Protein backbone atom coordinates (compact mmCIF):
# COMPACT_ATOMS: atom_id res chain seq x y z
CA UNK A 1 0.00 0.00 0.00
CA UNK A 2 2.78 2.37 0.96
CA UNK A 3 4.58 1.47 -2.23
CA UNK A 4 1.55 2.44 -4.36
CA UNK A 5 1.20 5.69 -2.46
CA UNK A 6 4.89 6.49 -3.02
CA UNK A 7 4.59 5.75 -6.76
CA UNK A 8 1.56 8.03 -6.97
CA UNK A 9 3.41 10.87 -5.25
CA UNK A 10 6.40 10.48 -7.57
CA UNK A 11 4.17 10.46 -10.67
CA UNK A 12 2.34 13.50 -9.38
CA UNK A 13 5.61 15.40 -8.89
CA UNK A 14 6.76 14.42 -12.37
CA UNK A 15 3.53 15.74 -13.87
CA UNK A 16 3.79 19.00 -11.93
CA UNK A 17 7.45 19.54 -12.75
CA UNK A 18 7.58 18.49 -16.39
CA UNK A 19 4.14 18.95 -17.88
CA UNK A 20 4.18 22.77 -17.49
CA UNK A 21 7.58 22.85 -19.18
CA UNK A 22 6.14 21.08 -22.19
CA UNK A 23 3.28 23.62 -22.37
CA UNK A 24 5.74 26.49 -22.19
CA UNK A 25 7.92 24.94 -24.88
CA UNK A 26 4.92 24.87 -27.21
CA UNK A 27 4.27 28.62 -26.79
CA UNK A 28 5.42 31.26 -29.26
CA UNK A 29 8.39 33.21 -27.87
CA UNK A 30 10.22 36.42 -28.73
CA UNK A 31 13.75 36.17 -27.41
CA UNK A 32 14.93 39.55 -28.69
CA UNK A 33 13.32 42.61 -30.29
CA UNK A 34 15.60 45.29 -31.71
CA UNK A 35 13.94 48.49 -32.95
CA UNK A 36 15.81 51.04 -35.10
CA UNK A 37 14.14 54.44 -35.60
CA UNK A 38 15.45 56.94 -38.15
CA UNK A 39 13.88 60.39 -37.87
CA UNK A 40 13.69 62.54 -41.02
CA UNK A 41 13.80 66.35 -41.18
CA UNK A 42 10.01 66.53 -41.63
CA UNK A 43 9.24 64.44 -38.53
CA UNK A 44 8.64 61.19 -40.42
CA UNK A 45 10.07 58.05 -38.77
CA UNK A 46 11.48 55.05 -40.63
CA UNK A 47 11.18 52.11 -38.22
CA UNK A 48 12.94 48.76 -38.64
CA UNK A 49 12.23 45.89 -36.26
CA UNK A 50 14.41 42.79 -35.99
CA UNK A 51 12.59 39.96 -34.22
CA UNK A 52 14.19 36.70 -33.10
CA UNK A 53 11.28 34.34 -32.49
CA UNK A 54 10.40 30.72 -31.93
CA UNK A 55 7.00 29.98 -33.46
CA UNK A 56 5.08 26.88 -32.47
CA UNK A 57 1.51 27.81 -33.37
CA UNK A 58 -0.58 30.21 -35.43
CA UNK A 59 -0.30 31.35 -39.05
CA UNK A 60 0.50 35.08 -38.96
CA UNK A 61 1.95 37.94 -36.93
CA UNK A 62 0.92 41.57 -37.00
CA UNK A 63 1.70 45.06 -35.73
CA UNK A 64 -1.22 47.38 -35.01
CA UNK A 65 -0.60 51.03 -35.90
CA UNK A 66 -3.30 52.86 -33.91
CA UNK A 67 -5.67 55.24 -35.65
CA UNK A 68 -4.01 58.41 -34.38
CA UNK A 69 -4.57 61.79 -36.00
CA UNK A 70 -1.71 62.80 -38.28
CA UNK A 71 0.01 59.40 -38.24
CA UNK A 72 -0.10 57.48 -41.50
CA UNK A 73 1.71 54.37 -42.70
CA UNK A 74 3.35 55.26 -46.02
CA UNK A 75 5.61 52.25 -46.34
CA UNK A 76 5.66 48.67 -45.08
CA UNK A 77 7.76 45.67 -46.02
CA UNK A 78 9.08 42.42 -44.59
CA UNK A 79 12.51 41.25 -45.70
CA UNK A 80 12.53 38.33 -48.16
CA UNK A 81 8.74 38.38 -48.45
CA UNK A 82 6.29 39.41 -51.19
CA UNK A 83 3.45 41.87 -50.72
CA UNK A 84 -0.15 40.69 -51.09
CA UNK A 85 -2.64 43.33 -52.26
CA UNK A 86 -5.62 42.07 -50.22
CA UNK A 87 -4.69 40.19 -47.05
CA UNK A 88 -6.89 37.17 -46.24
CA UNK A 89 -6.47 35.94 -42.67
CA UNK A 90 -8.41 32.76 -43.48
CA UNK A 91 -5.59 31.43 -45.63
CA UNK A 92 -3.52 28.54 -44.29
CA UNK A 93 -0.06 28.91 -42.78
CA UNK A 94 1.47 27.43 -45.94
CA UNK A 95 -0.40 29.93 -48.14
CA UNK A 96 0.72 32.86 -45.98
CA UNK A 97 4.35 31.79 -45.92
CA UNK A 98 6.63 34.37 -47.59
CA UNK A 99 3.92 37.04 -47.87
CA UNK A 100 2.90 40.23 -46.10
CA UNK A 101 0.10 42.77 -46.36
CA UNK A 102 -2.13 45.21 -44.49
CA UNK A 103 -5.66 45.23 -43.13
CA UNK A 104 -7.67 48.25 -42.00
CA UNK A 105 -9.64 47.89 -38.77
CA UNK A 106 -11.66 50.22 -36.55
CA UNK A 107 -8.59 50.52 -34.27
CA UNK A 108 -6.08 51.30 -37.00
CA UNK A 109 -3.98 49.53 -39.62
CA UNK A 110 -2.59 46.04 -39.07
CA UNK A 111 0.78 45.26 -40.67
CA UNK A 112 0.64 41.48 -41.17
CA UNK A 113 2.99 38.76 -42.36
CA UNK A 114 3.02 34.96 -42.48
CA UNK A 115 5.08 33.20 -39.80
CA UNK A 116 6.48 30.60 -42.21
CA UNK A 117 7.80 27.32 -40.84
CA UNK A 118 7.45 26.49 -37.15
CA UNK A 119 10.61 26.78 -35.09
CA UNK A 120 13.29 29.47 -34.95
CA UNK A 121 12.59 32.47 -37.22
CA UNK A 122 14.11 35.88 -37.76
CA UNK A 123 11.87 38.64 -39.12
CA UNK A 124 13.02 42.06 -40.34
CA UNK A 125 10.01 44.35 -40.57
CA UNK A 126 10.19 47.94 -41.85
CA UNK A 127 7.52 50.62 -41.88
CA UNK A 128 7.41 54.42 -42.16
CA UNK A 129 5.12 56.63 -40.06
CA UNK A 130 4.39 60.29 -40.79
CA UNK A 131 4.35 63.11 -38.21
CA UNK A 132 5.88 61.11 -35.37
CA UNK A 133 7.79 64.25 -34.35
CA UNK A 134 5.34 67.06 -33.65
CA UNK A 135 5.49 70.77 -32.99
CA UNK A 136 4.57 71.66 -29.41
CA UNK A 137 3.83 75.14 -28.07
CA UNK A 138 7.37 75.55 -26.78
CA UNK A 139 9.43 73.00 -28.69
CA UNK A 140 9.17 69.76 -30.65
CA UNK A 141 8.76 66.17 -29.48
CA UNK A 142 8.45 62.51 -30.35
CA UNK A 143 6.15 60.49 -28.09
CA UNK A 144 5.36 56.95 -29.16
CA UNK A 145 4.44 53.60 -27.63
CA UNK A 146 6.78 50.99 -29.13
CA UNK A 147 4.73 48.07 -27.79
CA UNK A 148 4.26 46.39 -31.16
CA UNK A 149 4.57 42.82 -29.90
CA UNK A 150 1.09 42.33 -28.42
CA UNK A 151 0.81 39.24 -26.21
CA UNK A 152 4.15 37.67 -27.26
CA UNK A 153 6.35 39.47 -24.76
CA UNK A 154 10.02 40.06 -25.64
CA UNK A 155 12.59 38.60 -23.27
CA UNK A 156 14.95 41.45 -24.24
CA UNK A 157 14.22 44.67 -26.12
CA UNK A 158 16.36 47.55 -27.36
CA UNK A 159 15.33 50.76 -29.12
CA UNK A 160 17.75 53.08 -30.92
CA UNK A 161 16.69 56.48 -32.31
CA UNK A 162 18.78 58.52 -34.75
CA UNK A 163 18.03 61.73 -36.60
CA UNK A 164 19.28 64.25 -39.16
CA UNK A 165 21.49 65.81 -36.48
CA UNK A 166 23.43 64.65 -33.41
CA UNK A 167 21.42 64.29 -30.22
CA UNK A 168 23.22 65.69 -27.19
CA UNK A 169 22.51 66.97 -23.66
CA UNK A 170 22.01 70.52 -24.92
CA UNK A 171 19.37 69.85 -27.59
CA UNK A 172 17.63 66.67 -26.41
CA UNK A 173 15.65 65.55 -23.35
CA UNK A 174 14.61 61.92 -23.03
CA UNK A 175 12.27 59.80 -20.92
CA UNK A 176 11.17 56.15 -20.92
CA UNK A 177 7.84 55.03 -19.48
CA UNK A 178 6.27 51.68 -18.65
CA UNK A 179 9.22 49.28 -18.36
CA UNK A 180 12.28 48.38 -16.26
CA UNK A 181 15.36 49.58 -18.10
CA UNK A 182 17.73 52.38 -18.99
CA UNK A 183 17.50 55.22 -21.49
CA UNK A 184 20.48 57.36 -22.39
CA UNK A 185 22.35 59.29 -25.07
CA UNK A 186 25.12 57.33 -26.77
CA UNK A 187 27.17 58.68 -29.67
CA UNK A 188 24.52 61.18 -30.77
CA UNK A 189 21.68 58.63 -30.54
CA UNK A 190 18.92 57.84 -28.07
CA UNK A 191 19.35 54.28 -26.79
CA UNK A 192 17.08 52.40 -24.40
CA UNK A 193 16.93 48.76 -23.33
CA UNK A 194 14.97 46.61 -20.92
CA UNK A 195 16.58 45.15 -17.81
CA UNK A 196 13.71 42.89 -16.75
CA UNK A 197 10.81 41.04 -18.29
CA UNK A 198 8.30 43.22 -20.11
CA UNK A 199 4.91 43.14 -18.44
CA UNK A 200 1.85 42.33 -20.53
CA UNK A 201 -0.38 45.32 -21.27
CA UNK A 202 2.29 47.86 -20.36
CA UNK A 203 3.38 50.56 -22.83
CA UNK A 204 6.97 50.85 -24.00
CA UNK A 205 6.71 54.61 -24.38
CA UNK A 206 9.59 56.86 -25.37
CA UNK A 207 9.44 60.64 -25.09
CA UNK A 208 12.14 62.70 -26.80
CA UNK A 209 11.85 66.48 -26.65
CA UNK A 210 13.74 69.04 -28.73
CA UNK A 211 13.50 72.55 -27.16
CA UNK A 212 15.33 74.26 -30.04
CA UNK A 213 12.88 73.34 -32.87
CA UNK A 214 15.42 71.61 -35.17
CA UNK A 215 12.87 69.84 -37.42
CA UNK A 216 10.77 71.19 -40.31
CA UNK A 217 7.32 70.04 -39.20
CA UNK A 218 3.81 70.40 -40.59
CA UNK A 219 1.84 68.89 -37.69
CA UNK A 220 1.50 70.45 -34.27
CA UNK A 221 0.03 69.60 -30.88
CA UNK A 222 -1.72 72.20 -28.75
CA UNK A 223 0.30 71.32 -25.66
CA UNK A 224 3.45 72.46 -23.84
CA UNK A 225 6.36 70.09 -23.31
CA UNK A 226 5.73 70.08 -19.55
CA UNK A 227 2.09 69.11 -20.11
CA UNK A 228 3.25 66.35 -22.42
CA UNK A 229 5.51 64.88 -19.72
CA UNK A 230 2.59 64.91 -17.25
CA UNK A 231 0.39 63.16 -19.82
CA UNK A 232 3.06 60.53 -20.47
CA UNK A 233 3.45 59.84 -16.76
CA UNK A 234 -0.31 59.30 -16.47
CA UNK A 235 -0.48 56.99 -19.47
CA UNK A 236 2.43 54.90 -18.16
CA UNK A 237 0.17 53.59 -15.39
CA UNK A 238 -2.25 51.82 -17.72
CA UNK A 239 -2.21 48.00 -17.77
CA UNK A 240 -0.27 45.68 -15.49
CA UNK A 241 -0.35 45.90 -11.70
CA UNK A 242 -0.99 49.27 -10.08
CA UNK A 243 1.65 48.69 -7.39
CA UNK A 244 4.34 48.53 -10.08
CA UNK A 245 3.70 52.00 -11.49
CA UNK A 246 6.45 53.76 -9.53
CA UNK A 247 8.89 50.95 -10.30
CA UNK A 248 8.46 51.04 -14.08
CA UNK A 249 8.38 54.81 -14.52
CA UNK A 250 11.76 55.88 -15.88
CA UNK A 251 11.97 59.68 -15.72
CA UNK A 252 15.59 59.84 -16.89
CA UNK A 253 16.15 63.29 -18.33
CA UNK A 254 19.21 63.09 -20.53
CA UNK A 255 20.11 66.76 -20.52
CA UNK A 256 21.93 69.20 -18.33
CA UNK A 257 18.85 70.68 -16.69
CA UNK A 258 20.20 74.13 -16.01
CA UNK A 259 21.67 74.46 -19.49
CA UNK A 260 18.52 73.08 -21.09
CA UNK A 261 16.18 75.47 -19.33
CA UNK A 262 18.65 78.30 -19.87
CA UNK A 263 18.59 77.76 -23.65
CA UNK A 264 14.79 77.46 -23.60
CA UNK A 265 14.47 80.68 -21.62
CA UNK A 266 16.74 82.46 -24.09
CA UNK A 267 14.64 81.33 -27.08
CA UNK A 268 11.42 82.30 -25.30
CA UNK A 269 12.88 85.71 -24.54
CA UNK A 270 13.96 86.26 -28.14
CA UNK A 271 10.61 85.11 -29.50
CA UNK A 272 8.81 87.42 -27.05
CA UNK A 273 10.85 90.40 -28.19
CA UNK A 274 10.12 89.61 -31.83
CA UNK A 275 6.40 89.57 -31.15
CA UNK A 276 6.62 92.77 -29.17
CA UNK A 277 8.26 94.43 -32.16
CA UNK A 278 5.45 93.22 -34.44
CA UNK A 279 7.79 91.08 -36.48
CA UNK A 280 6.75 87.93 -38.34
CA UNK A 281 5.43 85.28 -35.90
CA UNK A 282 7.02 81.86 -35.64
CA UNK A 283 5.94 78.94 -37.81
CA UNK A 284 4.18 77.38 -34.84
CA UNK A 285 2.40 80.66 -34.09
CA UNK A 286 1.09 80.83 -37.64
CA UNK A 287 -0.13 77.24 -37.55
CA UNK A 288 -1.87 77.73 -34.20
CA UNK A 289 -3.45 80.95 -35.42
CA UNK A 290 -4.87 79.13 -38.48
CA UNK A 291 -5.98 75.98 -36.64
CA UNK A 292 -9.40 74.66 -37.80
CA UNK A 293 -9.62 77.35 -40.50
CA UNK A 294 -10.63 76.25 -44.02
CA UNK A 295 -8.82 78.13 -46.80
CA UNK A 296 -10.06 77.48 -50.33
CA UNK A 297 -8.36 80.27 -52.28
CA UNK A 298 -5.14 79.68 -54.20
CA UNK A 299 -2.47 80.53 -51.56
CA UNK A 300 -0.18 82.69 -53.72
CA UNK A 301 -1.00 84.43 -57.03
CA UNK A 302 1.67 87.12 -57.34
CA UNK A 303 4.13 84.83 -59.08
CA UNK A 304 5.31 81.24 -59.09
CA UNK A 305 4.13 79.35 -56.03
CA UNK A 306 7.54 77.70 -55.78
CA UNK A 307 9.31 81.09 -55.55
CA UNK A 308 8.41 81.54 -51.88
CA UNK A 309 9.71 78.12 -50.74
CA UNK A 310 12.96 79.49 -49.28
CA UNK A 311 11.13 82.29 -47.48
CA UNK A 312 8.59 79.89 -45.94
CA UNK A 313 11.37 77.51 -45.01
CA UNK A 314 12.88 80.22 -42.83
CA UNK A 315 9.54 80.45 -41.02
CA UNK A 316 9.60 76.65 -40.43
CA UNK A 317 6.53 76.13 -42.62
CA UNK A 318 5.94 75.04 -46.21
CA UNK A 319 7.21 71.49 -46.71
CA UNK A 320 6.58 69.30 -49.75
CA UNK A 321 3.19 68.20 -48.44
CA UNK A 322 2.00 71.81 -48.30
CA UNK A 323 3.11 72.53 -51.88
CA UNK A 324 1.60 69.29 -53.09
CA UNK A 325 -1.84 70.19 -51.77
CA UNK A 326 -1.47 73.82 -52.84
CA UNK A 327 -0.93 72.65 -56.43
CA UNK A 328 -3.86 70.23 -56.22
CA UNK A 329 -6.00 73.16 -55.11
CA UNK A 330 -4.69 75.36 -57.90
CA UNK A 331 -5.25 72.68 -60.57
CA UNK A 332 -8.74 72.02 -59.28
CA UNK A 333 -9.58 75.75 -59.34
CA UNK A 334 -8.22 75.99 -62.89
CA UNK A 335 -10.29 72.97 -64.02
CA UNK A 336 -7.17 70.92 -64.75
CA UNK A 337 -7.99 68.35 -62.09
CA UNK A 338 -11.20 66.72 -60.85
CA UNK A 339 -11.23 65.58 -57.22
CA UNK A 340 -13.99 63.12 -56.30
CA UNK A 341 -14.62 61.81 -52.78
CA UNK A 342 -16.79 58.86 -51.75
CA UNK A 343 -17.46 57.08 -48.44
CA UNK A 344 -15.00 54.41 -47.31
CA UNK A 345 -16.09 51.15 -45.65
CA UNK A 346 -14.29 52.50 -42.60
CA UNK A 347 -16.55 55.45 -41.77
CA UNK A 348 -13.63 57.46 -40.41
CA UNK A 349 -12.04 57.63 -43.87
CA UNK A 350 -12.89 58.66 -47.43
CA UNK A 351 -12.01 57.29 -50.86
CA UNK A 352 -10.57 59.97 -53.14
CA UNK A 353 -10.00 59.79 -56.89
CA UNK A 354 -7.96 62.34 -58.85
CA UNK A 355 -8.66 62.76 -62.57
CA UNK A 356 -6.00 64.71 -64.46
CA UNK A 357 -6.98 66.75 -67.56
CA UNK A 358 -3.75 67.19 -69.61
CA UNK A 359 -5.30 69.36 -72.35
CA UNK A 360 -6.67 71.85 -69.84
CA UNK A 361 -3.36 71.95 -68.00
CA UNK A 362 -1.47 72.74 -71.24
CA UNK A 363 -3.87 75.58 -72.05
CA UNK A 364 -3.47 77.10 -68.59
CA UNK A 365 0.30 76.83 -68.72
CA UNK A 366 0.39 78.60 -72.08
CA UNK A 367 -1.82 81.45 -70.87
CA UNK A 368 -0.34 82.25 -67.48
CA UNK A 369 2.88 83.82 -66.28
CA UNK A 370 3.10 82.19 -62.86
CA UNK A 371 3.73 78.56 -63.78
CA UNK A 372 7.09 77.01 -62.95
CA UNK A 373 9.32 74.15 -63.97
CA UNK A 374 8.70 72.58 -60.57
CA UNK A 375 4.94 72.63 -61.16
CA UNK A 376 5.35 71.07 -64.60
CA UNK A 377 7.64 68.39 -63.21
CA UNK A 378 5.19 67.54 -60.42
CA UNK A 379 2.24 67.42 -62.85
CA UNK A 380 4.10 65.20 -65.31
CA UNK A 381 5.28 62.86 -62.56
CA UNK A 382 1.75 62.36 -61.25
CA UNK A 383 0.32 62.01 -64.76
CA UNK A 384 2.81 59.23 -65.54
CA UNK A 385 1.85 57.47 -62.31
CA UNK A 386 -1.88 57.62 -63.15
CA UNK A 387 -3.72 54.87 -65.04
CA UNK A 388 -4.78 54.88 -68.71
CA UNK A 389 -7.76 57.09 -67.83
CA UNK A 390 -5.45 59.64 -66.18
CA UNK A 391 -6.89 58.71 -62.79
CA UNK A 392 -5.29 57.92 -59.45
CA UNK A 393 -6.90 56.89 -56.15
CA UNK A 394 -5.64 57.87 -52.72
CA UNK A 395 -4.49 54.26 -52.21
CA UNK A 396 -2.49 54.38 -55.45
CA UNK A 397 -1.09 57.76 -54.43
CA UNK A 398 0.06 56.24 -51.15
CA UNK A 399 1.88 53.43 -52.95
CA UNK A 400 3.46 55.91 -55.36
CA UNK A 401 4.72 57.95 -52.38
CA UNK A 402 6.21 54.83 -50.79
CA UNK A 403 8.18 53.95 -53.92
CA UNK A 404 9.39 57.51 -54.59
CA UNK A 405 10.14 58.75 -51.05
CA UNK A 406 13.79 59.52 -51.83
CA UNK A 407 12.84 61.33 -55.05
CA UNK A 408 10.27 63.41 -53.15
CA UNK A 409 12.86 64.40 -50.54
CA UNK A 410 15.24 65.47 -53.31
CA UNK A 411 12.47 67.50 -54.99
CA UNK A 412 11.79 69.24 -51.68
CA UNK A 413 15.46 70.15 -51.22
CA UNK A 414 15.72 71.42 -54.81
CA UNK A 415 12.54 73.44 -54.34
CA UNK A 416 13.97 75.32 -51.36
CA UNK A 417 17.41 75.74 -52.90
CA UNK A 418 16.15 77.04 -56.25
CA UNK A 419 13.91 79.62 -54.57
CA UNK A 420 16.96 81.28 -52.99
CA UNK A 421 16.88 83.43 -56.14
CA UNK A 422 14.57 85.73 -54.19
CA UNK A 423 17.54 86.87 -52.15
CA UNK A 424 19.09 88.18 -55.39
CA UNK A 425 15.99 90.25 -56.09
CA UNK A 426 14.45 93.11 -54.05
CA UNK A 427 11.77 90.76 -52.61
CA UNK A 428 13.65 89.26 -49.67
CA UNK A 429 16.66 90.36 -47.68
CA UNK A 430 18.30 89.26 -44.46
CA UNK A 431 17.89 91.55 -41.44
CA UNK A 432 20.66 91.47 -38.87
CA UNK A 433 20.15 92.50 -35.30
User: How far apart (Å, rounded) are the C-alpha atoms in residues 61 and 45?
Assistant: 22
User: How far apart (Å, rounded) are the C-alpha atoms in residues 390 and 420?
Assistant: 34
Query: What local confidence, expressed as pLDDT, does residue 20 receive?
Result: 41
Query: What local confidence, expressed as pLDDT, does residue 281 receive?
Result: 47
pTM of the model: 0.63
User: How far apart (Å, rounded) are the C-alpha atoms in residues 90 and 96?
Assistant: 9
User: How far apart (Å, rounded) are the C-alpha atoms in residues 328 and 320?
Assistant: 12
Direct distance between the N- and C-terminal alpha carbons of the chain, in angstroms, rounded to an integer: 101
Query: What local confidence, expressed as pLDDT, does residue 262 receive?
Result: 38
Query: What local confidence, expressed as pLDDT, does residue 413 receive?
Result: 73
List of residues 6+ apart from 341 with CB closer than 8 A: 350, 351, 352, 353
Q: Exposed/middle/buried for 388, CB within 10 Å: 0-12, 13-18, 19+? A: exposed
| pLDDT, averaged in runs of 10, over the chain (433 residues) | 47 44 62 97 95 96 92 94 94 97 93 97 96 93 94 95 95 94 95 91 93 88 91 70 39 37 36 40 49 52 53 54 76 86 67 88 68 79 89 82 74 68 48 46
Give the sign of the dihedral formed by CA 78, CA 83, CA 86, CA 87: negative
Strands 99-105 and 82-83: parallel
Query: Are 65 and 111 a contacting pair, CB within 8 Å?
Result: yes
Q: Exposed/middle/buried for 338, CB within 10 Å: 0-12, 13-18, 19+? A: middle
Give the sign of the dihedral formed by CA 218, CA 221, CA 227, CA 233: negative
Query: What local confidence, expressed as pLDDT, does residue 120 receive?
Result: 97
- Looking at the structure, give the CATH architecture of the domain made up of residues 29-257: Sandwich (2.60)
Domain boundaries, the chain: 29-257, 294-424
Q: Exposed/middle/buried for 361, CB within 10 Å: 0-12, 13-18, 19+? A: buried
Amino acid sequence: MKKRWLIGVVLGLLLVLFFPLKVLADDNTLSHLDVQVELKENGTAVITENRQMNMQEGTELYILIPDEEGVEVIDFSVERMTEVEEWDSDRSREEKTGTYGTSETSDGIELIWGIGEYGENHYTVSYTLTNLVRQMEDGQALYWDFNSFGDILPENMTIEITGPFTFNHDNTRIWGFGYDGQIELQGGRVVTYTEASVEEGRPISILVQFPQDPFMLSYYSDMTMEEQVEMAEGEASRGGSSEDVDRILIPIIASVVTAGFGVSALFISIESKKKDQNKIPSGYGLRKQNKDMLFTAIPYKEGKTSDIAFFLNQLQVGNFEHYFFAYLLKWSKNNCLIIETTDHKNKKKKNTTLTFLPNEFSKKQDNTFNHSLFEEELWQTLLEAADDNNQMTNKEMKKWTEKHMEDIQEMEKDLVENSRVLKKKPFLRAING
